[in-house]
Structure 1
């Protein structure tokens, strides 16, 4: 086995680009393992854990680019490195050689007339500093970077609030501003519904369901997942609500989040009284009574949130295809499963999609576990080992620390899928596939070989393995949702028309008689 190491001094690439390049590099024939990242302490720890650390790499600085390639022979390693270099060339060509690159936010802000927003994706150690520079230049900020402290987040958001600016993030993965998708986002039609979301994939799901139901989006303002925590206090969600309330194009407002801190939820709901537009609230696991008392429109699920928003915006309800749940299919699948096949295993790229299916399962079953539960007693003892009904968010920090997000590189989820498919107590495996800017170019296609192999193995063992797949995307995305759905169906997967329906189907399939 041969390993080639190249360190490019003072060569910076943002984390999103490097995650994508690493994924593509690992698909090159001849490469056993490739790792492309900046020389940060965290990335060096990853190299140490996978057995690729060398003395040369130890000397790399934060500003240095590390390229590590493991192949069968020295010749293959060298050839593979040349192929990796081609990926960098193609990336530059895609950006455009004529594009001007600015060394600092200050110089960019001064040189680009009318610029009012900065997207920041740098190592977390430097992210707060760069975000502060952007705010000082009167730029709204989308802070994609994670590993920013809560204290820094509060300081930045208070600064943004005082300046009348948005600080979306940290760890904000989704936004649509003036019909332009930023980072992970889907292509949806323009319309009259505005979204403020403390959840990336939750916001994406609501936006694509609105599109599917015939509505459209004015703005999708991401806040970052911690915005509704006790410490941060919902600073950006409150500012987002006020901005959409003042926006003439926005007729309906949707709020989406995982379960917020109770005191912050109360603060957000109190603000609804100051709104002169309908506000639909989808806080997964939230209280209908509290939302209604505040004058809002309660939505238990993302599908319900989108449907209510579209109807409130003026779309004729009689013309909407609501995709009702296929009840005969539930009975058909239940009949195929043995009494021992009692459990759901949910393997998700999206945190809110995971939460939604998990909460739907918890309505029926007590033994539901996860790596992201609200109840600490329902947390998996070992995230690598499932218990009863298990729902895994592969986008959580425990799985992405130093690794690409599963929406970019699904390899970690594929390995876990193979493991779960062999468990004779599993009746249903539930998965999401997220399309859109920044995501894997063929999320279903890369999973199909493992799906076919798992179903064949189950059949050989005399059991039926039900796989439910949900594709989060629109007909305008590339690839389109229809193209991805065809691949699922051809592989023998049951597809769901929404995140909500996916969770309902899965829990129905494993329900046993009394």
Structure 2
């Protein structure tokens, strides 16, 4: 195999665009691996670690295309990537004079003085400085960039708070502002429910389900995954909560996060209680009694957060989303398990969404199944080798361990699909649990490649496949089309991630009971 690369001096592209180009050229015949990244020290190290270049001379403002494969295929991949990078036509005004490129936020504001939000997607080493520039210009900030230190995040957010501005991020992958989807977001109806979330896929699950239930979103604000840590103190969530409390278009508020520290949780819940509007809180894995108070309703799952918010909006009776299958669903699971041999006992989860993996681990635990994971919840164990499952295993394929030098599985599901196939071929697997995430930035047809792999397996001897599709009908991939394709291939499709994890656990319990062995 040949390794080749090309460096473009002083050519910047945002990370989502680069991941999409990487995904496209990775699929070319004869290409084993490909990466299109900026030449930061971290990216150069990652290219070295995955075998895509040892002596690449590039600076942080330079763009690198690196490929591994057959010689002719490498040349084709480099040419295609170059074409994609230069595919945007020059913009001319009516006089035929080329409009100068905007090379600073100051220039952008001069052109669009009403703008009040900057989306930052530069390498993490430079993101903090760019965020400070935006804040000093009076703009709110969404930081798609990751690899920003906790000290920098704290400084940026304190600076923003002093100026009555919000910083969404770092590592904020999803937001919907004034109806505009940002990052990995979905096409949802406008409405009266506002969301503040420390999880991108958590926000996607809640906003999509609200849309499916016939309501809509006023604003969906991300905070980044570290915001509710003791060090940061929930600065962005508190700001977002207050902003939604003051927003006339927002009638109900939803807060989403993994459990924060006790002190941070108390500050958030006190402010939620005083918001003057109904607030639904889903701190994944937290006890309901620790959250519930006047004006604040605890949700046990992401799906329930959406259900409760819509019920509060419509002033209908409150109920958590029904996870336990009815008699007909249990009978269907029992029937599906009948052909499974006694050797098939294990749950294997393969997720593109980190929060979906986290929630699934919690629900499997509730049904008596402790598991290994690369991102374990309390009570589960750290997987010794992330490339090899052991016992019940639930994997977050979007974690940094799997995405170094590679596109996120929501953009390019190739690596995720390979892991799914490996779990299907493991004779110990009883059920494979997975997600399919739709929306802007995600793969155009996420089910397509997976179905090609499923067509090659022996379905008579295969484990159960249980999935959920996070998306809406208005998404480019159209949720119903993806669900129909999965069901046609024999996949059991649940309404939400929590239901899928519950069904997977019940299928495993059926196997345990049928074969008389311990979980």
- 1:341 is aligned, of 321, 341, 344, to 344
Does structure 1 residue 78 correspond to structure 2 residue 81? no
Does structure 1 residue 126 correspond to structure 2 residue 126? yes
Query: Within 1, Cα distance between the matches of 2:91 and 2:396?
Result: 36
- 1:416 is aligned, of 397, 410, 419, to 419
Does structure 1 residue 388 correspond to structure 2 residue 391? yes
Provide Cα deviations, 1:52-95, integer angstroms capped at 9, x if missing partner.
3153x1x211111112233423x4433443233232244x25x9
Does structure 1 residue 440 correspond to structure 2 residue 443? yes
Q: CA deviation at 1:34?
A: 2.5
User: What residue number does 2:264 align with?
Assistant: 264
CA contact (8 A) 1:228 1:261 kept: yes
Provide Cα deviations, 1:414-446, integer angstroms capped at 9, x if missing partner.
222222122211101111011001111111112
SS in 2 for 1:83: helix
Cα distance, 1:469–1:100 mapped onto 2, change above 3 Å: farther
What pairs up with 1:452-463 in 2 under 5 angstroms? 452-454=455-457, 456=458, 459=460, 463=461
User: What residue number does 2:96 align with?
Assistant: none
What pairs up with 1:286-325 in 2 under 5 angstroms? 286-293=286-293, 295-314=295-314, 325=325
Q: CA deviation at 1:193?
A: 0.3
What pairs up with 1:348-359 in 2 under 5 angstroms? 348-359=351-362
Q: CA deviation at 1:403?
A: 2.4
Say which is worse superposed, 128-137 or 322-331, in terms of deviation: 322-331
CA contact (8 A) 2:424 2:462 kept: no
Query: Within 2, Cα distance between the matches of 1:112 and 1:296?
Result: 40
Count of equivalent residues: 503
Query: Within 1, Cα distance between the matches of 2:437 and 2:91?
Result: 27
CA contact (8 A) 2:337 2:464 kept: no
User: What residue number does 1:475 align with?
Assistant: 473
SS in 1 for 2:66: strand
Say which is worse superposed, 407-416 or 340-349, in terms of deviation: 407-416
Q: CA deviation at 1:30?
A: 4.2
CA contact (8 A) 2:280 2:305 kept: yes
User: What residue number does 2:64 align with?
Assistant: 66
Task: Flag structure 1 segments of 5+ consecutive residues without an equivalent.
Answer: none
User: What residue number does 1:485 align with?
Assistant: 483
SS in 1 for 2:305: helix
User: What residue number does 1:379 align with?
Assistant: 382
TM-score (norm 2): 0.92
CA contact (8 A) 1:196 1:237 kept: yes
Query: Within 1, Cα distance between the matches of 2:462 and 2:411?
Result: 30
Task: Flag structure 2 segments of 5+ consecutive residues without an equivalent.
Answer: 94-98
Provide Cα deviations, 1:96-155, integer angstroms capped at 9, x if missing partner.
777863111232223322010000001000000000000000100000000000000011
SS in 1 for 2:5: strand
Q: CA deviation at 1:286?
A: 0.9
TM-score (norm 1): 0.93
Provide Cα deviations, 1:309-348, integer angstroms capped at 9, x if missing partner.
0011117679x99898433322222333333322111111
Does structure 1 residue 248 correspond to structure 2 residue 248? yes
Provide Cα deviations, 1:345-401, integer angstroms capped at 9, x if missing partner.
111111111111111100012432211123276221222222222111111222223
CA contact (8 A) 2:361 2:371 kept: yes
CA contact (8 A) 1:474 1:480 kept: yes
